[in-house]
Structure 1
Amino acid sequence: MDTAAFGARMRDLLTGHALTTLIGIGHRTGLFDAAAAQGPATSSELADRAGLDERYVREWLGAMTTGGLFELADDGRFVLPESHAVFLAGARASNIGPSAGLLQRLDAVSPQVERCLVDGGGVPYAAYAALGPMGEHWRHIYDDHLVSGFLGAVDGLDARLRAGARVLDLGCGSGHAANLMGREYPRSEITGLDLAPEAIAQAEAERAAMGLSNVAFVVADAADLAPEPAHDVITAFDAVHDQQDPAGVLRRIRAALAPGGVFVMVDVNSTGSIADDLGDPNAAVLYAISLLFCVPTSLAAGGTGLGAMWGREAALAMLADAGFDDVEVLPAPRPQNVVYVGRI
């Protein structure tokens, strides 16, 4: 890449950062949903729909339109094309608004990560939790893909859950996956486990609102998981690589499975090699999230700092060391993830 082309690339990166910030704002204030639901609008009309100040909405629309997210109609109204709204509006996994919000929160913690680059150490999870929920971007992913995608990919699992099984969701966060499983599989008993009390409080509130009697949540460390009571199914969604001792947690998961049990681990789809990740369009963002969240939170707790990009080879080696002798690696319904299935 010559100097001029690289300069254009740098400009695009700065533009992307600015637009990502404004996408997060538009998501949280309802601007995208208002534009998608009711069609073309002037800045005043869109501000009225969303209940916002017109002067700020006008400037936001200026960035969105010159940035190519909105279009400007001949009558001066701003249009969010349907093909764009798929990625910017609605309660669906393709909506990048929650991910933009996550990147904003990580950006707010970046000065502490920068200090770690100089001094070592880590950043405690509480520093992130203080900025708001960390798992919002996963809620719509679960809504769209949990049952038919992640769980449905595992041969025989859906039928087993419908018949009734004891299930543990490890590192459940705010509990949305566990609650969805409880609703979908009323004969199964679902327990969600997470170290963060504030996340478990959110999980319990959602459970109560959904009226689920077959779901329970506990505040506990996965590193202390006991072998009893044994579980028929254990799930971990994007959670193992963040553990203080991932290898130790995998051994405890193996010990906590009942005979014939199955472990479903959804994690980042990475090769574990920067050279091999060069062609992956998702790799740069995933490495950035790993730097800004996964590594510092692990190291802050005295952990190994494994990071999100540990890769398939390392994951399979750890699973084998934990006692999972025959692990299936299945494609996930989204390219950022892969599904590991260990049976005993």
Structure 2
Amino acid sequence: MTIDMQQTEAFAGQVVGDVAAALSGVMTNLGHKLGLYKAMAWAGPMSSDELAKKTGLHERYVREWLGNQAAGGYVTYNEVTNSYILPDAHIPVLADENSPLFLIPALEVAASLWLDEDKIRNVFHTGEGIAWGEHHHRLFCGTESLFRPGYGTFLTTEWIGAIPGLKEKLQAGAKIADVGCGYGASSILMARDFPNSTVHGFDFHTESIETARLRAQEAEAGDNLHFSVAAAKSYEDTGFDLICFLDCLHDMGDPVGAARHAREALNPDGSILLVEPAAGDSVSENINPVSRLYYAASTAVCTPCSRSQEVKTALGAQAGRKKLAEILGEAGFGEVNCVASTPFNIILEARVA
């Protein structure tokens, strides 16, 4: 067989870029944790010495870090002045923790996958799962930090606001469930923005609920917010006007059962709000960088999480609208609509009729 060496060399170059990105991810995470990006934000050109003095760090390490950042295009370098600048357009991605485009926490998720590599490799052999709580704790912190800005920007305004009459109902006073709430960022947000409504956050991971309660105290949340340890098919409360599944339904072993339980817990005119990773309905529609990221997370986290539970449906993080609508339809929802989308999410609303 003859190999086209030009193609081989081009692909090798692609892999070199991927390896460089993987190694540089550590540098990016350090840039965040050491305050380097924030120190450069809106500050104009800076030398390595100026940046070191501003951050209280050693100049020699700052200089080497800046070289990595310039080589990767994260900062720009001026050879004449020997200075570096963080472009304004990069600030929402690297320095603004409230921006929906703040992506550095994804590197914490990536770190957790390396730390769990042996577990992930093992399930390829056994076909078994890895429970959410069995992952390294950096997964939990990274996931919350990654999702929280998007929820803060879109959840109570654009996503809930896209469902006719729902925002007004929640402002007047309603009952909300946040199933799979994790560390409670979305629950705290809804309790704050809809003070006349009562929010119940449910998660089967005890440590997450404990952290959610602490976060609620830190946020000085009101008495309209409650957290409970409960699986998606076992919480006993009913009479909900809104039940949210935010970036979690595909992780569940029995998503049909979880959706069916939600239908039974809803008021007759209630709604399901389903937020899932952006995806097309086929692999060919998902050949892009965002799906590449999601397929990796799905292989290491989402699919093993589902396979650690009963039924083991393993939807995966790239199920797509059609499959999600089928799941909701099987659970008894007669009306499913896509009400919003972002480059990273699809948002569906489901009603019984």
Q: TM-score, normalised on structure 2?
A: 0.91
Corresponding residue number in structure 2 for 1:193: 202
Post-superposition offset of 1:99 = 1.6
Match of 1:56 among 58, 61, 81: 61
Post-superposition offset of 1:125 = 1.9
Matched, 1:232 2:232: no
Quote the Cα distance in structure 2 between the aligned partners of 1:53 and 1:127: 37
Match of 1:295 among 284, 300, 303: 303
Matched, 1:337 2:342: no
Q: Calculate percent identity across the aligned residue pairs.
A: 31
Post-superposition offset of 1:276 = 2.8
Query: Residues 192 and 55 of structure 1: is their aligned pair in 2 closer, same or farther, counting only changes over 3 Å?
Result: same
Quote the Cα distance in structure 1 between the aligned partners of 2:61 and 2:127: 41
Query: Residues 110 and 210 of structure 1: is their aligned pair in 2 closer, same or farther, counting only changes over 3 Å?
Result: same
TM alignment of 1:62-141, pairs within 5 A: 62-73=67-78, 74-91=80-97, 92-131=99-138, 133=141, 134-141=143-150
Corresponding residue number in structure 2 for 1:258: 267
Query: Residues 295 and 155 of structure 1: is their aligned pair in 2 closer, same or farther, counting only changes over 3 Å?
Result: same
Aligned to 1:264, the other structure's residue is in SS state strand
Post-superposition offset of 1:122 = 2.2
> CA contact under 8 A between 1:190 and 1:215: conserved in structure 2?
yes
Q: How many residues align?
A: 341
Q: Bigger shift: 156-165 or 204-213?
A: 204-213
TM alignment of 1:165-176, pairs within 5 A: 165-176=174-185
Aligned to 1:218, the other structure's residue is in SS state strand
Aligned to 2:116, the other structure's residue is in SS state helix
> CA contact under 8 A between 1:24 and 1:104: conserved in structure 2?
no
Match of 1:32 among 37, 44, 66: 37
Q: TM-score, normalised on structure 1?
A: 0.93
Corresponding residue number in structure 1 for 2:172: 163
Query: Counterpart amino acid of 2:187?
Result: A
Corresponding residue number in structure 2 for 1:215: 225
Query: Counterpart amino acid of 1:88?
Result: L
> CA contact under 8 A between 1:171 and 1:195: conserved in structure 2?
yes
Match of 1:46 among 32, 51, 73: 51
Query: Residues 105 and 37 of structure 1: is their aligned pair in 2 closer, same or farther, counting only changes over 3 Å?
Result: farther
Deviations 1:51-100 (A, max 9, x none): 43433322221111111111123322221111222321112111211122
Post-superposition offset of 1:129 = 4.5
List alignment gaps of at least 5 residues for structure 1: none
Post-superposition offset of 1:215 = 0.8
List alignment gaps of at least 5 residues for structure 2: 1-5
Quote the Cα distance in structure 2 between the aligned partners of 1:108 and 1:86: 28
Post-superposition offset of 1:205 = 1.8
Quote the Cα distance in structure 1 between the aligned partners of 2:86 and 2:253: 44
